[in-house]
Amino acid sequence: MSALRFCRLCGSAVARLSYAFANFRRYKRTAGSVLWLDTDTKIRELSRGTRSLDDFCKKFHRAPSTAPAVKTYGFEDVVAALNEVAPFDWRNFLLARLNSTDFHAPLGGIERAGWKLAYETAPSGFLKDLEQWRKQSRP
């Protein structure tokens, strides 16, 4: 195999890996958002609307009255802080979602927020505009 052919193969493999990694990062970012939306709507449901994920964040990330320091935490610390905001079986709630291998996305938070995920056969006006904008933006 020539060096040029080898470089082309390597470059192609790197491009495919880069694309796959970008998709993985995008998926992880989306999955994390869906998890925290699910958590937020569950807190609101349990507290009858008096508390939210903001209350958890304030409690969990509150700064002590000391000099800045690195503060490590683990899964159980997250569960304990969530239980302080809204008592519930947060451990199993989070583990079920974190360890899930279901084909479908966890839609509990979206549904509790009053939304429904639906697919249409025709692209929406927004999608059409976005596609047109992307075509015009390319060099």
- Taking only the tens place, the pLDDT of each residue in 53-96 is 999 999 888 877 778 778 888 999 999 999 999 999 999 999 99
The residue ranking higher by pLDDT, 85 or 27, is 85
Q: Residue 88 — φ and ψ, nearest 5°?
A: -170, 170
Entry pTM: 0.66
In the predicted structure, residue 11 carries a pLDDT above the cut 50: no
Answer yes or no: is pLDDT of 8 > 80.
Answer: no
Residues 6+ apart with CB under 8 A from 59: 81, 84, 85
Query: What are the distances in angstroms from CA 82 to CA 13, 57, 91, 105, 113?
Result: 43, 9, 9, 23, 19
- The residue among 80, 96, 97 whose CA lies nearest residue 88 is 80
Helix (H) or strand (E) holding 24: helix 3-46
pLDDT at position 81, please? 95
| The Cα angle at residue 41 between residues 90 and 32, in degrees rounded to 5 | 70
pLDDT band at residue 139 under the 50/70/90 scheme: low
Q: Hey, what amino acid is at 25? A: R
CB-neighbour burial class of residue 82 (10 A; exposed 0-12, middle 13-18, buried 19+): buried
